[in-house]
Every structure is written in structure tokens, then in C-alpha cells.
A and B are shown apart, each in its own frame.
Chain A
Amino acid sequence: MKMKTAAVHVIVIFALVLLAGCLFIPDDTPWPTDVRTRLVSDGEKDTGAKNLVSAIYLAYRAFDTLGETIVLIVAIIGTMSVVESVKKISDDPTTAVTYDFSLVKEKRSSHKLRTHLLEVVTGKIGPVVLLFGFYVMGQGHISPGGGFQGGTIIASGIMLFILGNPYSKVTEMRQNKILSTIEASAFVLFILVSLLSILTSGIFFSNPLEAAGVKYEYYIIALNALIGLKVGSGISLMCIAMMSRRRT
């Protein structure tokens, strides 16, 4: 038996080394520069974005970005529904285990990690982080950043807010409702914006108001904002679902 496992290990390591050798070690062909050349000459003219990475993922390859947001939305739905079903199992008091990082005020004294220091600090940092998130989201076309990065910063800002504020079950419910509404409407708007250009200019996924004189830049800003809102609300929903698991 031991011989067999050893043989398996040897074969797998051999295969892995071979694969790593063939896949990772480059031969002497130089890295292609065609895309860069083209983007340097046309990128800003086409899209109005100084940040060429933004120009690619929101203009040339915006369809990939749509796919990415869809993966995120499916992951959120899946995570929430699985976590929820665990909650139901733990409702049974005999098998229940408390794993909470509870957000409910009454339980807080029992929890070592929720100190007053944490509350004060996070409560003060929260708004600053939130503001920074919106900045990163809105400046994505001319500086490093964009919808996804801004969205995750917004989500952490929301989490800091939640950690640092008096909190009860009622506000949790309300927060969930607001966040999921923002998430759903940002998603619908994102799809509608992508479809709108079919009506106005007959091209799928491009600036719908080009004829009206709106620059492509503003289209990118709008997409960044929608993605940022969607990602921010989605990730904070997921975090809330995971943190507030408790025995009720």
C-alpha cells in the first residue's frame, strides 16, 4: 500500500515538473507588442480613458467584464443560499453550534473580539474608507482603480460601519434590503445600458448617447459606477450573511 502511494506521488510530481517546465519557462520568442502599439496610438482616442487597462476592460472587452459581474452575482446567490441552509440546520438546538461573530448588541458582551476600542476605531474609519471607495470608483478611467477595486473598498467601508455602530436585528434586515435592492438595480441597469446602444446606434455594447454628443469617457464612468455599486453591495451582503450567523 505504501509503495503504491509513493509511486503515485512520484508520478504526479514528475508530471507537475514536466508541465511547469513546458508551461512556465518561456522560449526565446519575444513577448508580443502589437496590442500595446495599437492601444498607445488609438486607445485614448477611441475611449477617452488615460488608463489603458480601463480602456480594455470597459470598452474593448466590456463583454468579459459583464461575464465577471455575472460570476460574482451567481457566487453571491450561491453563498447566501448555502449559508442560509446551514442556519436552518443549526436551528435544531441539539446539533447547533455557535460560530458567531455576532452583530447583535445583546450578545456583544459575551464576545471577546468585540471591544469598545474596535467599535470606536472602525466607526471613525468607516466613512473615510467609504469616501475613498467612491473616489477610486469614479476616477477609474484616469487613474489606477475602477469599478471592482472601488466596489471592494466600498464593501470594506460598509463592513467597518457595521462593526462600529449600534446594531440590532431590525437594522440588519433593513440594511440587507437596501443593499440587495442596490445590487439588483445596478445589475439590471448595467444590462440595460449595454442593450440601449442597440436602439440608438445599432451596435451592441457601445456608447448609447454618442449621437447626442456625450463623450465615451462618460460612458466608462457610468459603467464603473454601476459595477462599483453592484460589487460593493454584493460583497457586503455576503460578508453580513457570513458574520451574522447565530443561533436564534
Chain B
Amino acid sequence: MNLESIAFIFLMAPLLASGFLLLAKTVHHHERLSFVIYYLSTISGFLISLFFTILVLTKVNQRGPVSFYIGAHHSEVAISYTFSLDGLIIFFVALFISFTSWAYNDRKKTKQIEFSIILMIQLFSIGATLFTRDLFNLFVALEIMGITSYVLIAFSSKVRSSVASLYYLLSSSAAMIFFLLGTYLIYRLTGSLNYHQIRETLKGTAMSPATVFAASSIIVAILMRSALFPLHFWLPNAHAMAMHPVSAILSGILIKIPLIALTPFVQLFDFSQSIGTVIKILGALSAFFAVIFAFCQSDIKKLLAYHSISQMGYITAAWGYAMELSLATEAGRILYTASILHIIFHALFKSTLFLSCGTIIDVTAQRNVYKNRNAARILISADRKHLLTIIAFFLSALSITAIPFFNGYYSKNLITSSFHHQWIYTILFITGVFTTASFLKLSAIFFRPGPVENTQTIRKEKVPVLSYVLLIAALTVTAVYHSPIITGLLSSVFSSQSDIHLEFYESEIWMKSVTTIIIGTILYISIRSRTISHLMHLTETVEVNLQSMLISVILSVTGLGIYLLVRGVILI
């Protein structure tokens, strides 16, 4: 079979599995039958998808990206797909994270079949978003991704999660209206929805308000899903209130997908470099502001959710800078690789954090960072296998704070060192300090001596051994083999054989890490002072209402459009 026909199997396998799961749901009164269909279809869905992803990955690695139209009629009306290596790698990571989160959830829990159906459909939408090169198909894929996440968030039938889901739904639908309007403008200007033809038509045309506003509405709608700084308000509640495996998937993989989908779109425009500049600055700002909010949170999962925004800030800053320099340059390629590397590593450690903290919250029945005490003892006394939970937590906490020899260290330093001698470097340094401090604060739940555990509050939870073992293994492997991964990414994504010199243990970088840790520790100790804890409480209680979320969407579209227009006029 040729590559064109097998390429779609890994996308469709999860979808087919979800169809069979739907059938399993209809026969739920036959306990045995529905059990068999449930496990058989989910696991074979994952395995078939994994097998064909790897197959396509190796083929694409040899031959370069494959593009083709869907269906028998190869024309401008049809939908075109491109299977590129960066997308395939991210899809592989998405499969891994989805599988571990699925394995984390217990079959006995309510709504497990529904959860699996939606999870499988979401995998399909992730693939479609990554590989499509058609504007309207991207709209459909983003809408599937959106509605699956609203439903997943609302699954934890708490009222707070329904509110969070509704807010996310309304603000993101408002953004998708702008996406549709942008599609309209592009179709009006070029008569096509296909990226290749749009690029051919737009090349060299004068910059008009129509092109600029088309670009800005679509970019804002996509970045909304990636929770970039002024558009991130929906995220903390949505990710914190969802069930634990759902938070792991949403924070771990889902918020990164739109950014990768944006890469080919931004390159359609002649002014892609100005767009890159804006996104770079917003990324740095979002890394900075979100980490301050994260540091002030008292709810464990909300703290982690804010850290997701902050780490996404790193990724978008690197991505924006790569677009600013353009992918044709060597520095731009390294930055793009750095952002993909941080996407992969962050997916691993953030989902581990969400899962392990979820276990801790379930066992100790305490979501508050300050009130949760002596968690290590409680966990071990509940079940000896919880040692895995503790190991997983600390591995990922050390990775996110960029301690040497853990995977976050490599990806973060690859990003920050590219910003040397810029103001963004300082901002990212401060972000690192706050990250250290807030994870010291979070880790304290294990050691801070508490009252002797009263056995009522300890809940016996089954330890999801499989997902922890997989995640710990992945974290270790990526930390040990960081340099082949980086050079492999660089050479295969861009098929450039440049041997760049990566030195992570220069004295300067060492010094930076040590200073970050020291200042972070001082900052952590300082929260005992009354003024600072009062300030932190004030920051924590800042709640953003729906109105501001919607206004931020509209003002972002307008602002980005006006900025690009003004900049275009100045450059001429």
C-alpha cells in the first residue's frame, strides 16, 4: 500500500474505536459483552494508531513531508493534508499522554465509557488540526477539539466545572466567529481555502485592511485555544475544575496543538515576521504574569493550571521569535526546534504533575496547598505503591523548575539562551525564580509536619501503576537522551545537516540555574512575612468575569489588526 492511503489510518483508528465504544454503550446491560468491546476497541485503537504513526513517521523521515488531497478528485475544491514530521512527533506524544491518562482513570468510575469515546474523538481532532492545510477544515477540527474539551470539563459533574465549561464555551465560540469571518475574507480575496493556493495568490499583493484583519481574526481565534496572555482567562478554572486525567490531557497536550497548526498559517502572509514579533512579546508577558498568579494560588490544581499558561508563554515566545527570524534562517530553526522540544517535555511533566497531584488530592481529600500536610506519610500509609506517585511528582517538579540533569533544564535553557541580551531574557529569568518558589511551596505538602493522620480522611484509591511507570520512564529517557533528541529533531524536521554545538553545562548556565534556585528559595521563605502573604491573597482573589474574557477577544482582534496595519505603513 502506498503512503497516501496508510497515512489516514492512524487518524481514523481512534475514531473507529470511538464508534465501537458507542456501540458498547448501547449494550451496557450485557456486562460481559460491553466490557470486552470496551477494552478491545480502546486498546486496539491506541495500538493501531501508534503502529501507523511510527510507520508514517519513519517514511516521512526518509522522504520529507507528504501532501495530498483527500478523496478521488484532486482539485482546488478538495481538502489537502500535509503530514510533516513536527506534527507527527507531536501526535505521537499526544497518543502517549492520552493513553496514560486513560489508564489512570478507573473503569469502575462513572462515565468511563463516555470519557473514552470523547478521548478518542479528541485524538482524531488533534491529528486533523495538526495536519490539515485547508482553512475551513481547520475550523471544523478546532470546533471538534473545542466541543470535546467543553464536554470533558463538564464531566466532573461539579457545578464549578459547568460554570468553567460554559465560560470557555462562550468565549471560545466568540473567537471562532472571528475565525469564520477571517475565512470569509480570505476566500473573498483569493477564491480558495487551500494554503498553497492562498499563498500563491497573496504573495506580493499590497497589504490591505482586509488581509490584515483576516490574519488577525484567525490568529486570535487560534491563540485563544493556546491561552496566550490576554486570552488566557478561561484556562485556570477550566483546567483546575476538570477531572484529573482530563486536566492532564488538556494542559499536557491540547493547548499546544493550535500553536503548531498556526505555523503554516502564519507563513501565508508576507508580514509573518511582524506577527512573530507580537507573539514573542505576548508569550514572554504571559510567562511572567501567569507565574506570579501561580505563585499566589492556594488551590493545588489552579496553581498547576497557571503554570501551564506560564510554560506556554515560554513556548510561544520561542515560537514567535522563530517566526520573526523566519524558518529560513538557522537561528529561527533552532528556536522552532526549541519550542517543539519544550512542548514535548512540558507535555510529559505537566501531565505527570496533574495526575500525581490528582492522586494526592483524592487520597488526602485536601485541595489547599497550605492545609495539605504530611502528604508523604499519608500516601505511604494508604498504599505502599504510592511511592510511585511521590517519585513521579518529584521527577516532574524538578523538571519544570529546570534543575540540571532533568529534561526541563535542556528545553528551557535552549529557549532562554536564544534570548540573550534582550529584555525577554530577564523576564524569563524572573519567571524561573517564581517557578522554583512556587514548586517549593507545592512540594512542602509532603514534608510539612501535620497532625497525625486520622484514618477517616484517607481514602483508599487504586494506584494507577501503569501510567506512573510509563510517565516516569518517559521523563527519565528524555532527560538522559536529550542531546540525540535535539539533534534528531533539528536534522529531521528541517532536514538540515548543520551540526550546532549544544553546550548545557557551561559555567554561565550553571551559574544561572544556581542563582535561580537560591533566589527562588529566598522568595519561598519570604511568604511567611505577613505583607507578602497578604499581597498573595489579594492576587489570588482576583477573578476575571466572562465579560472581560469576551472583551479581551474583541480588543485583541482589533489591537493586532491595527498594530499590523500601522507597522506595515511604517515599513513602507
Q: Do these two chains really belong together in a complex?
A: yes
Q: Which residues of A contact B (CB under 8 A)?
A: 8, 11-12, 15-16, 18-19, 22-23, 26-27, 29, 31-35, 38-39, 42, 46-47, 56, 59-64, 67-68, 70-71, 73-75, 77-78, 81-82, 85, 88, 177, 180-181, 183-185, 187-188, 191-192, 194-195, 198, 201-207, 210
B279-301 contact mask (Cβ, 8 Å, vs A): 1 or 0: 00000000000000000000000
Instruction: Select from chain A the residue with minimum beta-carbon distance to B190.
Output: A32
- B26 in complex: contacting residue of A78, A180, A198, A206, CB < 8 Å: A180
Q: Which one, B136-144, B370-378, B413-421, B498-506, is touching chain A?
A: B136-144
Taking the closest CB of chain A, its distance from the CB of B298, in whole angstroms, is 28
Q: Once the chains are docked, how many angstroms separate the CA of A210 from the CA of B141?
A: 29
Contacting pair A70 B190 (CB below 8 A): no
- Report B201-218 residues with CB < 8 Å from chain A CB: 208-210, 213, 217
Contacting pair A59 B73 (CB below 8 A): yes
Sort chain B's interface into a size bin: 35 or more
**Assuming A63-B137, A195-B16, is B22 touching A70 (CB within 8 A)?**
no
- B144 in complex: contacting residue of A22, A27, A71, CB < 8 Å: A71
Q: Once the chains are docked, how many angstroms separate the CA of A202 from the CA of B6?
A: 9
Contacting pair A19 B557 (CB below 8 A): yes
Instruction: Select from chain B the residue with minimum beta-carbon distance to A31.
Output: B188
Contacting pair B23 A188 (CB below 8 A): yes
B114 within 8 A of A: yes
Instruction: Select from chain A the residue with minimum beta-carbon distance to B210.
Output: A27
**Assuming A74-B118, A75-B147, is B554 touching A188 (CB within 8 A)?**
no
Contacting pair A60 B551 (CB below 8 A): no
- A185 in complex: contacting residue of B23, B118, B136, B557, CB < 8 Å: B23
Instruction: Select from chain A the residue with minimum beta-carbon distance to B554.
Output: A15
Q: Once the chains are docked, how many angstroms separate the CA of A12 from the CA of B554?
A: 8
Q: Once the chains are docked, how many angstroms separate the CA of A27 from the CA of B212?
A: 14
Contacting pair A61 B78 (CB below 8 A): yes
Other A-B pairs beyond A34-B76, A204-B8, 8, CB < 8 Å: A19-B213, A35-B77, A77-B114, A81-B151, A180-B22, A184-B22, A185-B23, A188-B20
B2 within 8 A of A: yes
Contacting pair B191 A34 (CB below 8 A): yes
**Assuming A56-B77, A191-B12, A204-B71, is B189 touching A29 (CB within 8 A)?**
yes
Contacting pair A74 B22 (CB below 8 A): no
Instruction: Select from chain A the residue with minimum beta-carbon distance to B152.
Output: A78
Contacting pair A202 B5 (CB below 8 A): yes
Instruction: Select from chain B the residue with minimum beta-carbon distance to A46.
Output: B73
Contacting pair B191 A35 (CB below 8 A): yes
B64 within 8 A of A: no
Taking the closest CB of chain A, its distance from the CB of B147, in whole angstroms, is 5
B242 within 8 A of A: no
Please, which residues of chain B bring their CB within 8 A of the CB of A59? 71, 73
- A194 in complex: contacting residue of B12, B20, B213, B557, CB < 8 Å: B12
Closest 10 interchain pairs by CB? Answer: A32-B191, A78-B151, A206-B72, A67-B140, A188-B19, A184-B22, A85-B157, A60-B77, A15-B558, A204-B8
B91 within 8 A of A: no
B485 within 8 A of A: no
Contacting pair B71 A191 (CB below 8 A): no
- Report B91-130 residues with CB < 8 Å from chain A CB: 111, 114, 117-118, 121, 124-125, 128
**Assuming A59-B73, A206-B71, is B26 touching A74 (CB within 8 A)?**
no
Q: Once the chains are docked, how many angstroms separate the CA of A201 from the CA of B72?
A: 10
Taking the closest CB of chain A, its distance from the CB of B403, in whole angstroms, is 40
Please, which residues of chain A bring their CB within 8 A of the CB of B140? 64, 67-68, 71
Instruction: Select from chain B the residue with minimum beta-carbon distance to A72.
Output: B147
Please, which residues of chain A bring their CB within 8 A of the CB of B181? 23
Q: Once the chains are docked, how many angstroms separate the CA of A185 from the CA of B555?
A: 45
Question: Among A61, A177, A205, A207, which residue has the most Cβ atoms of chain B within 10 A?
Answer: A61
Q: Which residues of B contact A (CB under 8 A)?
A: 1-2, 4-6, 8-9, 12, 15-16, 19-20, 22-23, 25-26, 70-73, 75-79, 111, 114, 117-118, 121, 124-125, 128, 136-137, 140-141, 143-144, 147-148, 150-151, 154-155, 157, 162, 181, 184-185, 187-192, 208-210, 213, 217, 551, 554-555, 557-558, 561
Q: List 16 A-B contacts (CB under 8 A).
A: A12-B555, A18-B558, A27-B210, A32-B190, A32-B192, A38-B77, A67-B144, A70-B144, A75-B151, A78-B147, A82-B154, A184-B25, A191-B15, A192-B16, A202-B2, A204-B8
Contacting pair A198 B210 (CB below 8 A): no
Contacting pair A67 B128 (CB below 8 A): yes
Please, which residues of chain B bring their CB within 8 A of the CB of A188? 16, 19-20, 22-23
**Assuming A73-B22, A195-B12, is B217 touching A26 (CB within 8 A)?**
no
- B141 in complex: contacting residue of A27, A47, A67, A81, CB < 8 Å: A67
Instruction: Select from chain B the residue with minimum beta-carbon distance to A210.
Output: B72
Q: Once the chains are docked, how many angstroms separate the CA of A61 from the CA of B70?
A: 8
Please, which residues of chain A bring their CB within 8 A of the CB of B137? 61, 63-64, 67
Instruction: Select from chain A the residue with minimum beta-carbon distance to B162.
Output: A82
Please, which residues of chain A bring their CB within 8 A of the CB of B70? 62-63, 204-205
Taking the closest CB of chain B, its distance from the CB of A64, in whole angstroms, is 5
Question: Among A60, A185, A202, which residue has the most Cβ atoms of chain B within 10 A?
Answer: A60
Instruction: Select from chain A the residue with minimum beta-carbon distance to B124.
Output: A70
Taking the closest CB of chain B, its distance from the CB of A120, in whole angstroms, is 33
Taking the closest CB of chain B, its distance from the CB of A182, in whole angstroms, is 9
Contacting pair B19 A191 (CB below 8 A): yes
Taking the closest CB of chain A, its distance from the CB of B18, in whole angstroms, is 8
**Assuming A38-B76, A204-B5, A206-B72, is B210 touching A22 (CB within 8 A)?**
yes
Contacting pair B15 A81 (CB below 8 A): no
Contacting pair B26 A177 (CB below 8 A): yes
Please, which residues of chain B bring their CB within 8 A of the CB of A85? 157
Please, which residues of chain A bring their CB within 8 A of the CB of B5? 198, 202-204
- A22 in complex: contacting residue of B72, B121, B128, B213, CB < 8 Å: B213
Please, which residues of chain B bring their CB within 8 A of the CB of A198? 1, 5-6, 8-9
Taking the closest CB of chain A, its distance from the CB of B141, in whole angstroms, is 6
Taking the closest CB of chain A, its distance from the CB of B544, in whole angstroms, is 14
Instruction: Select from chain B the residue with minimum beta-carbon distance to A204.
Output: B8
**Assuming A23-B181, A191-B15, is B78 touching A202 (CB within 8 A)?**
no
Please, which residues of chain A bring their CB within 8 A of the CB of B558? 15, 18-19
Q: Once the chains are docked, how many angstroms separate the CA of A185 from the CA of B19?
A: 8
Taking the closest CB of chain A, its distance from the CB of B191, in whole angstroms, is 3
